[in-house]
């Protein structure tokens, strides 16, 4: 399905994979500060923070998959099928439609702490954007350079979890995902020590590099992807330059890349990593690759007029870009 992660060097980075069997026609979308964004219940917000992210633009409205704002706050929504549940309208709270949740947070909040305050006032409803675009069952990661949280809207109501690993995939619910890491506490980037047999130690030796991580999941299930990306991210080392940081981030998410043919969802249909994103949330630069284009492409929101009133859109560069050397 999908995997999201955060990464910190000199700057703060956040991104995700979108794993699915078909594309909705994604675009890079920038909401300038004076773009009048319409909320289903709250009306139109005329002035707000600027945002950049990946979206399906429907009737001029950016339905964001993931985005970050000019203050360095990032957010992504990932599939949570079978567990997500939304509320009916509650006139005692600030009602927010699920499809507008990402811009509702990012246009008004500068930090995770700001978001936590807004979430106390929120009632998340399941009204669809249109008959053609039904309500998606999602949960979300919200993060800045200081902290990350996961929000899940379930039958019992809104649940908010601290997210100490800065990773999110899909099912099961986040508290179970996090508890599941306990099964892998012995994994290490270092070579293992021989403790087999205790006092009656056998003369065992590591016969390969990487044996400290024996048992690290490698399948494509959401729980396994959560463990794998958490391990790779938590052990990841890179320089703090922009090129080193961005390159390393794509390697982190590349550890759960999905290849066509490996995850069949129905006869003849296979889930693939449609795109992988990496947003330097500190600088407002959105990097991405697609399944057919491994070259990193970037859009810098600060090179656009962030005081404009119209949505700014960039089509994805999808064809493979090969650099010939002869």
Q: Which residues are catalytic, by number? A: 2
Start-to-end CA span in the chain (Å): 39
Query: What's 227's DSSP letter?
Result: H
How far is Cα 133 from Cα 25, in angstroms, rounded to an integer?
13
The token duo for 296 is 């990193």
User: What are the Cα distances from residue 21, in Å, to 31, 175, 190, 267, 317?
Assistant: 28, 28, 37, 11, 19
Q: Which helix (H) or strand (E) holds 137?
A: none
Name residue, tokens 């990841």: 236
How far is Cα 269 from Cα 290, in angstroms, rounded to an integer?
18
In the chain, the DSSP E strands lie at 2-8, 12-20, 27-31, 37-39, 43-45, 51-58, 61-69, 74-79, 94-97, 122-125, 138-143, 148-154, 157-162, 167-168, 264-266, 269-270, 272-280, 285-290, 293-300, 312-315
């Amino acid at each position: 399905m999908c995997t999201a992660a955060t990464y910190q060097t000199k700057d703060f980075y956040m991104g995700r994979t979108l794993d699915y069997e078909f594309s909705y026609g994604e675009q890079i979308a920038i909401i300038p500060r004076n773009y009048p964004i319409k909320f289903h219940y709250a009306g139109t917000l005329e002035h707000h923070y600027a945002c950049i992210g990946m979206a399906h633009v429907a009737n001029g409205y950016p339905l964001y998959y993931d985005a970050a704002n000019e203050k360095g706050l990032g957010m992504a929504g990932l599939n949570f099928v079978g567990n997500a549940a939304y509320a009916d309208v509650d006139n005692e709270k600030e009602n927010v439609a699920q499809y507008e949740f990402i811009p509702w947070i990012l246009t008004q909040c500068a930090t995770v702490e700001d978001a936590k305050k807004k979430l106390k006032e929120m009632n998340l409803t399941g009204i669809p954007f249109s008959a053609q675009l039904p309500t998606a069952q999602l949960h979300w990661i919200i993060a800045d350079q200081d902290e990350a949280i996961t929000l899940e809207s379930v039958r019992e109501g809104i649940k908010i979890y601290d997210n100490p690993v800065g990773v999110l995939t899909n099912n099961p619910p986040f508290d179970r995902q996090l508890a599941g890491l306990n099964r892998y506490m012995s994994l290490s980037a270092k070579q293992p020590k021989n403790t087999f047999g205790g006092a009656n130690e056998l003369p065992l030796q590591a016969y390969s590099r990487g044996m400290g991580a024996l048992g690290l999941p490698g399948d494509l299930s959401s729980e396994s992807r959560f463990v794998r990306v958490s391990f790779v991210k938590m052990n990841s080392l890179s320089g703090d330059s922009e090129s080193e940081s961005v390159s390393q981030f794509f390697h982190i998410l590349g550890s759960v890349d999905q290849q066509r043919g490996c995850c069949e969802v129905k006869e003849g249909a296979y889930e693939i990593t449609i795109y992988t994103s990496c947003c330097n949330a500190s600088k407002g630069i959105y990097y991405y690759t697609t399944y057919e284009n491994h070259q990193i492409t970037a859009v810098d929101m600060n090179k656009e007029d962030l005081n404009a009133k119209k949505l700014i859109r960039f089509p994805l560069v999808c064809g493979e870009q090969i650099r010939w050397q002869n």
